[in-house]
Structure 1
């Protein structure tokens, strides 16, 4: 299978506890349930793209443990090409500790494990996988030098390069922006990267415009229940989204990114791909878990392919 979407990123096993509320500092709180769920931003986005019609390959690392085997098996069951997924000896797989409250808000601690072993040199050795792709997707749960290599190489190859700057903890290196075709942050990430508040459509537009001036070709700022803002050379366009009753928001952003990429890969224009991503994300938040919440293509009313 020749993948048209290649995801370079993280794989984690999510250890999910549900509780009435998030614990306060120093507090021991009685929870309601526990589940072990495959996750990680890279793997989530790969699953979303695969379920929504793209041919997908995953580039990443897992540990030589039970979680690593489960993560690989789960992706392969989705039809994702895992030939570029390495098993790292004497290393644990990535793990995310997640608490979800009754309002569907979450708090997450991520232990990178084998994700930290996805070096630029490992990816460089897999250059044929990048060359065969139409779209490359990257996030920030792998080493920054690896992200830089992917963005730069993808741009040099003329691929469509998508960066989901999550989880963002500091400003992006200035050189990165010129390599990015679609920068897809949420509100808090856009605020951190731009240094501007993001608390309204107007302020979101200002932050997105700042990120474009930094060099990103196009910005899609996801705004949760307020939809998304798309900013390019023609200005800003707001895409409202339908209201849903949220159960768990854990993988909503990943679902949007993967669905948007799948839409582009299937020939949708940008507006269609954004709406496609919004429908997928809206459905995902009505379900619990990361990958289990991601919808399949037959569950969406898809636009006609041009």
Structure 2
């Protein structure tokens, strides 16, 4: 099972006429439905309010076959929402920020106590700092494969998990926008550097156990890994045309990340023990899968309505 910890919310799109579309979303939700579309069990650990938006997200996750037993519904809270209007973005964190360290520890412990085999834990930062750090600590204490996806909250708050937590992650994932903030947070001078140099600089500064992924979703990716033969680096090209504005593709990056991690943990070979060429090939497939979401109203819709388009070899 892949346990997806982080924000559970809705995406709200408003056009110039004020017409509104609401779609279930959130990084943790997107990780889970992508993993399910690719044949892996998945659970979501997050928080919603007792409202229509929370119910819509929960229904979508159940439809996808995801385990929602570790989603906390809190009275007095409102399900979080991302608002997209006239080219602007704003977030209302809502219940996401009410998820506590105790919720995280109890949820993960319950899954393990129930006999669940956890293949990977993906943590994003759409939840409180204490909750995300509790997830990191629990994963490492229990020897779980840990992916730390650094999220857009850093743009507003100029903060990340404490630097000493970075080396606990097997994989650190960061987008270009968050990469710039992470560099600032770590006191790095990365002005004017290209993607390859930025990825390597962040890899050296954060020190993940295995890999750092600088991801642009359908815009491609830059990967740096460490292994017995030293450091290996590769670039994966974009899967969308040059006329696309990549950062407008809500959820495509999360879909790519989840697809890559899902394929990495499927099969008998541990991610860090796979041939580097295979790791890069799977990343390329993941970037291609992310483009499937562009044909649908939202990434959850794509994974639920067209799972066959996500299919690819898993061994």
> TM-score, normalization: structure 1?
0.84
Equivalent runs, 1:190-269 vs 2, <5 Å: 190-195=179-184, 196-197=189-190, 203-213=194-204, 214-217=206-209, 218-224=211-217, 226-233=219-226, 234-244=231-241, 246=244, 249-267=249-267, 269=274
Find the aligned partners of 1:301 and 1:51 in 2 and give their Cα distance. Answer: 8
Deviations 1:246-279 (A, max 9, x none): 4850111111122112212323852243122111
Task: Give 1:34 shift.
Answer: 2.4
Q: Which runs of 5+ in 1 are unaligned?
A: 19-29
Q: Compared with structure 1, are the counterparts of its residues 38 and 198 closer, same or farther at alpha carbon in structure 2 (3 Å cutoff)? A: farther
Deviations 1:90-145 (A, max 9, x none): 2111122122x6xxxx5321111111111001111122326731100111110011
Q: Does 1:53 align with 2:53?
A: no
Equivalent residue, structure 1, for 2:95:
114
Cα contact 1:54–1:265 (8 A) shared by 2: no
Q: Secondary structure at the match of 2:39?
A: coil
Equivalent residue, structure 2, for 1:273:
282
Which residue of 156, 170, 188 corresponds with 2:177? 188
Cα contact 1:97–1:110 (8 A) shared by 2: yes
Find the aligned partners of 2:218 and 2:56 in 1 and give their Cα distance. Answer: 33
Equivalent residue, structure 1, for 2:308:
298
Cα contact 2:218–2:252 (8 A) shared by 1: no
Cα contact 2:218–2:253 (8 A) shared by 1: no
Q: Compared with structure 1, are the counterparts of its residues 85 and 225 closer, same or farther at alpha carbon in structure 2 (3 Å cutoff)? A: closer
Cα contact 1:6–1:133 (8 A) shared by 2: yes
Task: Give 1:243 shift.
Answer: 3.2
Q: Secondary structure at the match of 2:45?
A: strand
Q: Runs of at least 4 residues of structure 1 off by over 6 A?
A: none
Q: Secondary structure at the match of 1:291?
A: helix
Q: Which runs of 5+ in 2 are unaligned?
A: none
Which residue of 53, 57, 73 corresponds with 1:87? 73
> TM-score, normalization: structure 2?
0.82
Find the aligned partners of 1:171 and 1:13 in 2 and give their Cα distance. Answer: 24
Which residue of 147, 159, 164 corresponds with 1:175? 164
Equivalent residue, structure 2, for 1:23:
none
Find the aligned partners of 1:274 and 1:294 in 2 and give their Cα distance. Answer: 18
Q: Compared with structure 1, are the counterparts of its residues 122 and 204 closer, same or farther at alpha carbon in structure 2 (3 Å cutoff)? A: same
Q: Secondary structure at the match of 1:158?
A: coil
Q: Secondary structure at the match of 1:283?
A: helix
Find the aligned partners of 1:264 and 1:75 in 2 and give their Cα distance. Answer: 22
Corresponding pairs, count: 284
